[in-house]
Structure 1
């Protein structure tokens, strides 16, 4: 500071009488103090954030270490690609697995028979499937309820009249509705496939109550649903060999469709959007490159008139 003031005085820009006032003003500068304070504040915040992150990581690892649930392995599905659609033959076979096996305990109250049209069945086939069930309707002209064959507008029937009846028939466990089960479970169709094929003997130290079975992919391991899929449990109409893994794969694909019926339409829209935006980007580049090139390279020059 003294050297700077000396240079300024030597240049004749500052009078000697003002040197003391400048030195007094400089003594009140808070630049260094604010810099140290900011550094201390940032350091404290960094230590606090690092400590909080380490604590959360330790708690997360401790929870995982005590968790007996296995995470389902990632499978390669035919519909996993960015532009891949669902396998509609597999959806039809999955519906047959649900109808012959799963429908005995699980409902699908958000899916109607009309939803099958154009996906896995023709209109005539979907109508025939609906007519196989009896639906309570009414009242009639006499005020009585009656049974009628199902229609395309009817939803899949519930195997139990109410939740209490479902629990009574399953040792207190309530079979969940399968309409959106793929979206409601972590892992999606991978979880469904792993759960259906993951039954095994309980390891040592794991106690199961009466009516419970061991499945490592179910939270806690103890599940009230017995193994439902075995080889040749289902008879496919297209003659596909009905192995346990094939049935699990097909019903997982079917449940993927019930949870996301717009799956194929969404990917079709993606293809259309990519095509449209590609055309618009190319058109924009053409307009910018050719139409505005003259404006971008134009030089404006001012020439005053001679006076």
Structure 2
């Protein structure tokens, strides 16, 4: 008795699902969804070739240092890097003395406690400290940025589809709204305090263009600091902040693949040896 009832219940569910699918398809054909500005004018990120790309990728430490400089001089005014410590900069080629100097000279001090009174205070950063946030809290951050909250950049290239390519395209993608967009979607005019960027999900972003001109930073290694170069460098740096162990992961992956190939070969030879006397 239980089996027939179970079969009837299963058939009922199947019928309901099939009916819903057919009704949905018919409605979609009769009344297709209205076109939106985001759907028609949103662009996918442009490909970005970095040394860290691919299964054998390795970090270009000179580029990472340039990217850190862009972050320090341009991005750090609004965006935090709360999961990265100053001492982590050793991994991209800075010496211990340089790391200590960077921490000590950082524009924002870290929260502390006055040892004499126990009252909240601030102090100069040390190598062991995380990068301090530019705002004391979310309310202050929104108040300073037209009610928009600047996101933390530590894991940005892992949190966004296309990672570094997205960051690079976004930084170099600011432009005036196309006349075609305003003609087709007159209600899509960029509002006050927003900036048109076709690589952003809804086309309008609260962040003003951070890289506005060539030479905005001066690279110590003499690399020309074009807007595109600065965007590439800071994108590469954010790949490192999001996945600092990328190189060791790649090395481990290569070793595992080699091991599996050797083990497969040995297993196949053992199989041939064990069954060599058996005729089919």
Q: 1:136 aligns with which of 65, 87, 111?
A: 111
- For structure 2, the residue ranges without an aligned partner over 5 or more in a row are 1-11, 183-187
Name the TM-score, length of structure 2 as normaliser.
0.80
Distance 1:207 1:198 in 2: 17
Report the CA distance between 1:113 and its aligned residue: 0.9
Report the CA distance between 1:144 and its aligned residue: 4.2
Q: 1:188 aligns with which of 134, 138, 163?
A: 163
Report the CA distance between 1:106 and its aligned residue: 0.7
Distance 1:56 1:129 in 2: 61
Report the CA distance between 1:89 and its aligned residue: 1.8
Report the CA distance between 1:198 and its aligned residue: 0.5
Q: 1:123 aligns with which of 96, 100, 105?
A: 96
Report the CA distance between 1:154 and its aligned residue: 0.6
Report the CA distance between 1:185 and its aligned residue: 1.6
Say whether 1:211 aligns with 2:186: no
Report the CA distance between 1:125 and its aligned residue: 1.9
**Between Structure 1 and Structure 2, how many residues are aligned?**
256
Say whether 1:269 aligns with 2:242: no
Residue of structure 2 equivalent to 1:280:
263
Report the CA distance between 1:138 and its aligned residue: 2.2
CA shift in 2, pair 1:118/1:76, >3 Å: closer
Report the CA distance between 1:93 and its aligned residue: 0.9
Name the TM-score, length of structure 1 as normaliser.
0.73
Distance 1:236 1:158 in 2: 24
- For structure 1, the residue ranges without an aligned partner over 5 or more in a row are 1-40, 300-307
Higher relative contact order (CA 8 A, sep 6+): 2
Distance 1:70 1:157 in 2: 34
Distance 2:189 2:80 in 1: 30
Q: 1:228 aligns with which of 191, 195, 210?
A: 210
Residue of structure 1 equivalent to 2:86:
113
- Higher Rg of the two aligned structures: 1
Report the CA distance between 1:231 and its aligned residue: 0.6
